[in-house]
Every structure is written in C-alpha cells, then in structure tokens.
Amino acid sequence: MSKTLVTYFTASGVTRKAAEKLAQTIGADLYEIKPAVLYTQADLDYMNQNSRSSVEMKDPASRPELADKDANIAAYDVIYVGYPIWWGVAPHVVNSFLEAYDFRGKTVVPFATSGGSGVGNVQTYIAPSVPGAVVKEGKRLGGTEDAEALKVWALS
Ligand SMILES: Cc1cc2nc3c(=O)[nH]c(=O)nc-3n(C[C@H](O)[C@H](O)[C@H](O)COP(=O)(O)O)c2cc1C
C-alpha cells in the first residue's frame, strides 16, 4: 500500500482541523508546516497593505523561512498539502516548504480552507514548486464534509 502524508500550514487553526480530519479519515500521518516566525494577528491583516502577509503575498519571490526541514517526505508516495487561501493562492511559506524537499515521482494533492474562494489554479502556484511531481486537482474543504465524502475524494 502506498504511504500517505497529510501536511498543512495554518495561521488561525481552521486548516489544522481540516487536515486532522482528513488524516484520520484516510489513515495518513500528519505534519505541520511551521514558519520560523509565527504570524501575529497584525501580520494577517489583509486590509493593511503593509502587513507582513500583504508584503509577502505581493512579492511572488518571497519565501518565508521554515521552522524546520525535517519532514520525511522521502518515505511517502502521496503527500496532501493543506493551507488557507491567501489572496487566491497558497501562502508563500507553503512554497518554501515544497521547495525545501525533493518531490520527484510523488503525487501532491492540494487542499485549502478559505472564506469562500475556491482553491484556484494549483498548476500555476503549487506545481512549479514541485518539479517532477504529479499535482492533482486541488479541493476546498468547508469543514462540513462527512467522512464518506472525504474518503471518496481523497482516494479517487
Ligand atoms: C492574509 C489573508 C488573505 C486571505 N485571502 C483570502 C482570499 O483571497 N479568499 C478567501 O476566501 N479567504 C481569504 N482569507 C481567509 C482564509 O483563507 C480563511 O479564514 C482560512 O480558513 C484560514 O485558515 P487558517 O485558520 O488555517 O489560517 C484570507 C486570510 C488572510 C489572513
């Protein structure tokens, strides 16, 4: 059987809940993507053009530093990557994470939580960070999916 890992970044806890539910439902291991410097409430203020998240997201090349690089990606075949949608895409710390490891030959399955936006075009904002991996269509998880629906998506 292929080995599966659910990874996630969360700033305020919503994506953690979705990731835990997914990992439990499909029997996968769990790994949290942590920035070296945690995001404060002020950092997350998207109304403020000068907040940390606004500055990072305006710069396509920004790659916030990670707290660690010890995820055992090599041990897994399928890696789910979960994150909150920020300005229509993944927070750039997710790209920092993906670019820190070798995903060649792996299957990457993006999922996201959001205030309402869809997961967006993962082939443009996730795939370039994982050369040689197959990037599946992403899915927005609303938190209300029942285990059966989650399984049907995750195992398809
Ligand atoms: C900086 C920032 C930008 C956001 N941009 C969007 C967006 O473009 N569309 C959307 O639907 N929600 C947006 N949101 C809301 C988050 O995606 C949503 O609250 C998410 O579930 C938070 O997940 P978390 O608790 O795991 O961090 C944004 C939130 C922040 C902090």
- Report domain extents, the chain: 4-154
Tens-place pLDDT, residues 60-83: 999 999 999 999 999 999 999 999
Q: 149 or 140, which is more confident? A: 140
Q: Give the position of tokens 């992403």.
A: 138
**Cβ(46) – ligand 1 distance below 6 Å:** yes
Note the pTM of the prediction, 2 decimals.
0.97
What's the length of the chain? Answer: 156
The arithmetic mean of pLDDT across residues 81-94, rounded, is 98
CA dihedral of 77, 9, 20, 27, whole degrees rounded to 10:
0
Ligand 1 centroid to Cα of residue 125, in Å, is 16
The arithmetic mean of pLDDT across residues 20-37, rounded, is 96
Reference 20, options 141, 109, 134; nearest CA is 141
Percent of the chain with pLDDT over 90: 89
Calculate the average pLDDT of the chain.
95
Tens-place pLDDT, residues 98-134: 999 999 999 999 999 999 999 999 999 999 999 999 9
CA dihedral of 86, 127, 55, 71, whole degrees rounded to 10:
90
**Cβ(14) – ligand 1 distance below 6 Å:** yes
pLDDT at 2: 66
CATH class belonging to 4-154: alpha beta
Q: Which atom of ligand 1 is nearest to the CA of 51?
A: 1
Burial class (CB in 10 A: 0-12, 13-18, 19+), 7: buried
**Cβ(114) – ligand 1 distance below 6 Å:** yes
> The tokens of 150 are what?
């989650």
> 5: helix, coil or strand?
strand
For residue 135, pLDDT beyond 80: yes
Ligand 1 centroid to Cα of residue 105, in Å, is 30
d(CA 54, CA 58): 6
- The closest residue, in CA terms, to atom 28 on ligand 1 is 86
d(CA 155, CA 135): 15
Ligand 1 centroid to Cα of residue 143, in Å, is 14
d(CA 14, CA 5): 19
Q: Which atom of ligand 1 is nearest to the CA of 113?
A: 21
For residue 1, pLDDT beyond 60: no
